[in-house]
Structure 1
Amino acid sequence: MKRAILLMLWLTLALLGGGGSALAHAALVEAHPADGMVVEQVPATVRLRFNEPVSPLTISLTDAQGRTHSGLAAASRNEMLDIAVPPGLPRGTQILSYRVTSGDGHPISGTVIFSIGAPSGSGGIPGAEVSPAARGALWLARVALYLGLFAGVGGVFFTAWVVPRPPSSKVARPLSGLLALGAIAAVLSLGLQGLDALGLPLSALGKAAPWAAGWRTSFWLTVAAAVAALLMAGMGLHDRGERWRRACGLLALACVGLSLAMSGHASAAAPQWLTRPAVFLHAVGVAYWIGALIPLALMVRRAPAQALPAVRRFSNGALVAVAALTLAGLVLAAVQVESLANLTGTAYGQVLIAKTILVAGLLGLAALNRLWLTSALSKPDGSGGRRLVRSVVAEIVLSLAILGLVGLWRFTPPPRALEPAAEAAAAASAHLHTPNLMAQVTLSPGRPEAIRARIVVASGRAAPVDPKEVTLVLSKPDAGIGPIERQARRAERGWEVDGLVLPLAGPWQVKVEILVNDFEKASLEGSVTLRP
């Protein structure tokens, strides 16, 4: 059986580590036309570029006359999202609202405002409202799912591998209830995920749209693996054959790890060969530990002396489980938080601090149980059993609080996911155009230092253009800095100039010379401002 466990873990980790490209909590890094820009003609498309691939959920446009154009067609290609613009838009300010889902299954929404001809008044920015009731229900469903997976499936594994006999009815009943709770929560959370993705109220849960939206996110993989884990655990719990109980318990525990590794902030982070196996090991370790608490307390309360062998076996295995989940947790925290300053400066970091404090308390109780209370089970007066039960109950309470905190991470993007949006906001950009040609120039970072310039060229209607050469020219006449001319190199998305050093903050004149073909050359001019 030990060889079977090792083989199962090796195959699972190989499957997780061999995943495809890294998907994370996406952020918009560029729009074309750019937010706030004025174009002369109605663009054929609006191109949005994210830092990771996304899938469109809902896209609408409110034109200058206040009319809403819903259900716009959008083509997703890697990090690019090309949105078809309705023809014949009136001159004035247009508000494009988008809602997409990222690789970790979480929705991202925003707006891009551009004007045709000249800016005009706007009736406000439309967008999906966040429903507190829907988000509260999603949090409760997540916590209930965690209870089913960790306490329910973990409890079945404990009764199959640590206890040498089938569980009694007093142990089987609460485990059955937890498995049923987890199954209900798994199904409901798919629809609630769709509500959150679309920004719909809780009353819309009975409609088909949120369920379809939830299915289109990566969260459906988590739900599928979770349901498989709960079903296999249920079969193993009610079977009297030891081999079948052990096989079901082992496979169910593996599916718990797979379930949490299939979606979410942690598993979607790069490098996935590291993060997905880390999430898997962390989840399996948590299920082994938390799953033992309820059956352990019931066994010790009923017969302390007879429970001593099972307690010792669990305690020995817990050393390995705690080491694995601690190491995996540290790896994931380092990937997600990236710097100590983010621990206190972000909501994600603050939740992590609170969780770490509770986990430290849990580890303290586990050490107390192993070093002092376990040996006291053999006392004839039963006092050792009562003290151990009280300690285990305290562990259960702390575990519930930890799971509640972990559920909050669904709504708190990690710091590493916030950086692309922050970098995009910190960049300086200029939108240059003539009636027939446009160029979006982005300088990152938008302050005096070594800068990378990115240039995207398009037609006057925002259709892609593939020029033969692009040259960037920057100057600052008020400081006596003459033209700084750099030939741009072709990049995966547009043209780039690396190692550009602009020594002063303030406005700079920018010119982009474009060799469209052997017979046509264009020069677009404007200005860009660097922050101090």
Structure 2
Amino acid sequence: MRALLALLLAVAGVLVGGAAPASAHAALLGSDPAQGSVVDKAPAQITLDFSEKVALSDGSFKVLDPKGQRVDAGKASELTGTMYGVKVRPGLPRGTYTVTYQVVSADSHPVSGAFTFSIGAPSATTVSTAGQTVGGGVVGGLYGFARYVSYAAFIVLIGGAAFVLACWQRGAGVRAVQRLVVSGWVALTSATLALLLLRGSYTGSGKVDDIFDLSLIGQVLQTKTGAALVSRLLLLAAAALFIAVLFGAFVKRDADGEEMDGAAGEASGSDARKGASGGDAPDADRAASKQDLTFGLAVGGTVVAAGLAATWAMAEHASTGVQTGLAMPVDILHLLAVAVWLGGLATLLVALYRAGSIEKAAVRRFSNVAFGSVVTLAATGVYQSWRQLGSWSALTGTAYGQLLLVKVGLVAVLVGIAWVSRRWTAQLADAPAAAAKAKRTAEKKRVTAKASAKSGGSARGKDSNASRKGASGSSERTAQLARQRAAMAAARAKRLRDADPTRSGLRRSVLAEAAVAIVVLAVTTALTTTEPGRTEEAAKAATASASQRSGPLSLKIPFDTGGQDGKGTVEVALDPARVGGNEMHLYVVRPNGKAFDVPEVKVAFTLAAKSIGPLPVVPDRIATGHWSASGVQIPMAGDWRITVTVRTSDIDQVSVSKNAKIG
């Protein structure tokens, strides 16, 4: 158990200490103007197209001039579907402008980034786009830890209660099991409150000082994630009532039944026959009442558990993307199956180490329930994987797919250990359960002896004060002996339990399962903060289409200025010939192939299909017949007309052109 606790703390430390900014689940697919593009005149507004819907707030989009001053006008707004825009001030001068964005994706994760475009021609800018990320730092680490705790607490709460109701109803009266389930409720409630407080700073400034900003909390309550967290708190109030009944009235009903059964068993003579004849109806009533209470708890608990699972499904991955109407119910089922399996596993581990005993039948029932949960997990997991990845390449080519492979491997190990546990379960003996029954019988006898001694002492007290003192001493001695017998019975039960090699093997295998389950939970939490493979590949495709390259471009264009010694060939080399910045070299040679030292060369690029250009470029002379220019901006892909003007004398010059596909 100490090793398991150490592993849990280590995983928590990795989550907090290694917390990185949350990966964006909404990807920027494109913009107008495009990243790195050069436009002739200032646009009226900037538009951004994301892979899914995003939530906007004040300052979601900022447009900064070359000096870092804001030139956007008004709030950002939704245009159509996943496209959003912000207007800019009219009459913007030439230069390079920076657009920054900070939004919240539909699956609750913050998204931020920046890009640049130029009006007229690129220029130097004082704006840095480095560090344009949210979701990191101290607040990001605390938020990630709270998410991990909330998942773990949900599993313990739901799985522990399900284990008691479905597999081991006597466990409702075991103090260690009660503490485990109640701890799950307390941890989930605390983590939910923490997430609610951290949310505003997590998706905004990322400052610790903003955690308790009431205005930010008010804004969070108006979002989908805020509504989900508040709903979770309301459902936890209902869960508290469920726990009170499960560990209160349900346990008392069992205890009353055992006491009455014990009293009937100790009856003798005609009293026993009277008790038997008059006890059938009460026994039947008690059984029916317990059955009704169990059914009510099962129905109520299922509703509360499904509601709690829905607070994740309706606000995160399942709520966006393809087939959301099917994805959300599948996600709820997936979460419930995880909780029943791993939460039941944690409860079984506590019972094996802390409870006096656990019946073989209870372990077998849980084994069957766990098998059904694994089958459900496999079915729902395959669907979720397809939905989040979309292609086989995303399985190995994206961070989400790689994490998913790690999770699948860990679950395979977990299932293997569970198979070993099932083998131990098949060999499990009921001797410890019998010892526990003997312990309960000894305890009842102790209570009966104590009551008899007390009654006898009271009767003798009527004779004299001395006899009352003797009776008191006798009753104390009787109670002491009863306690000793109970302690001896408990020690015998513990020896029987620890001496059983099958039970010891089961404890070790279940402990190993729990250790692997903690790591699986950590990987699962990481998956929820990692961009799904489907959207990551969509963003890569969009970026590739915007900066697609055809390789270095080389064009040879003959020219004749008409004057003496005016013929030759100019070679234009553009590398890498893609959208964005390029390196350009020009070589001018005579008809015989020798370098031609002409006075001047100029180049212009025109994209007639989009009415862009001509974009002039004046290269620098490097050597005889060699000119170059760096940072030649190609704003978008297309069939460009490249015009070269060559001057061979003060009065002789000519412009020649050739078309080429760039990007």
In the TM superposition, what is the alpha-carbon distance from 1:153 to its structure 2 partner? Answer: 2.3
Q: Does the 8 Å CA contact 1:268/1:276 hold for their aligned counterparts?
A: no
Q: Does the 8 Å CA contact 1:429/1:528 hold for their aligned counterparts?
A: no
Say if 1:367 and 1:71 are closer, same or farther in 2 by CA, change over 3 A.
Answer: farther
Structure 2 Cα separation of the partners of residues 54 and 60 of structure 1: 16
Q: Does the 8 Å CA contact 2:52/2:320 hold for their aligned counterparts?
A: no
Structure 1 Cα separation of the partners of residues 540 and 385 of structure 2: 20
Structure 1 Cα separation of the partners of residues 301 and 395 of structure 2: 37
Give the corresponding residue for 1:451: none
Structure 2 Cα separation of the partners of residues 378 and 111 of structure 1: 66
In the TM superposition, what is the alpha-carbon distance from 1:94 to its structure 2 partner? Answer: 1.7
Structure 2 Cα separation of the partners of residues 304 and 528 of structure 1: 83
Structure 2 Cα separation of the partners of residues 95 and 351 of structure 1: 34
Structure 1 Cα separation of the partners of residues 40 and 244 of structure 2: 71
Residues 267-301 of structure 1, C-alpha deviation per residue, up to 9 Å, x if partnerless? Answer: 52312233222211111100111121233223334
Give the corresponding residue for 1:274: 326
SS state of the match for residue 359, structure 2? helix
The answer on 1:142 being equivalent to 2:273 is no
Q: Does the 8 Å CA contact 1:59/1:72 hold for their aligned counterparts?
A: no
AA paired with 1:68?
Answer: R
Q: Does the 8 Å CA contact 1:153/1:179 hold for their aligned counterparts?
A: no
SS state of the match for residue 376, structure 1? coil
The counterpart of 1:376, out of the listed 412, 428, 440, is 428
Give the corresponding residue for 1:181: 187
The answer on 1:299 being equivalent to 2:351 is yes
Give the corresponding residue for 2:401: 349
The answer on 1:397 being equivalent to 2:515 is yes
Show the 5 A alignment for 1:36-115.
Answer: 36-57=36-57, 58-68=60-70, 72-77=74-79, 78-87=81-90, 89-115=92-118
Residues 247-275 of structure 1, C-alpha deviation per residue, up to 9 Å, x if partnerless? Answer: 33212221233123113235523122332
The counterpart of 1:262, out of the listed 284, 289, 314, is 314
Structure with bigger gyration radius? 2
AA paired with 2:177?
Answer: V
Give the corresponding residue for 1:238: 244
Corresponding pairs, count: 425
AA paired with 2:540?
Answer: A
Higher helix share: 2
Q: Does the 8 Å CA contact 1:143/1:407 hold for their aligned counterparts?
A: yes
Structure 1 Cα separation of the partners of residues 73 and 526 of structure 2: 31
In the TM superposition, what is the alpha-carbon distance from 1:98 to its structure 2 partner? Answer: 0.9
In the TM superposition, what is the alpha-carbon distance from 1:399 to its structure 2 partner? Answer: 1.5
Structure 2 Cα separation of the partners of residues 473 and 68 of structure 1: 28
TM-score by length of 2: 0.58
In the TM superposition, what is the alpha-carbon distance from 1:210 to its structure 2 partner? Answer: 4.9
- Which 10-residue stretch deviates more, 37-46 or 63-72? 63-72
Residues 103-160 of structure 1, C-alpha deviation per residue, up to 9 Å, x if partnerless? Answer: 1112222223223343321113346444332222122111100011111122123223
AA paired with 2:514?
Answer: I
Say if 1:317 and 1:221 are closer, same or farther in 2 by CA, change over 3 A.
Answer: farther
AA paired with 1:135?
Answer: G
Q: Does the 8 Å CA contact 1:232/1:249 hold for their aligned counterparts?
A: no
Unpaired runs of at least 5, structure 1: 1-23, 431-445, 448-470, 475-505, 511-525
Q: Does the 8 Å CA contact 1:60/1:96 hold for their aligned counterparts?
A: yes
The counterpart of 2:157, out of the listed 146, 152, 156, is 152
The answer on 1:408 being equivalent to 2:526 is yes
Structure 2 Cα separation of the partners of residues 180 and 144 of structure 1: 11
Give the corresponding residue for 1:118: 121
Q: Does the 8 Å CA contact 1:179/1:234 hold for their aligned counterparts?
A: yes
In the TM superposition, what is the alpha-carbon distance from 1:328 to its structure 2 partner? Answer: 0.6
TM-score by length of 1: 0.71
In the TM superposition, what is the alpha-carbon distance from 1:395 to its structure 2 partner? Answer: 2.0
- Which 10-residue stretch deviates more, 172-181 or 299-308? 299-308
Give the corresponding residue for 1:25: 25
- Which 10-residue stretch deviates more, 75-84 or 237-246? 237-246
The counterpart of 1:197, out of the listed 182, 203, 225, is 203
Q: Does the 8 Å CA contact 2:313/2:331 hold for their aligned counterparts?
A: yes
Unpaired runs of at least 5, structure 2: 1-23, 251-292, 433-495, 549-577, 580-607, 612-636, 642-657
Structure 1 Cα separation of the partners of residues 544 and 139 of structure 2: 33
Give the corresponding residue for 1:172: 178
Structure 1 Cα separation of the partners of residues 431 and 659 of structure 2: 83
Structure 2 Cα separation of the partners of residues 210 and 473 of structure 1: 44
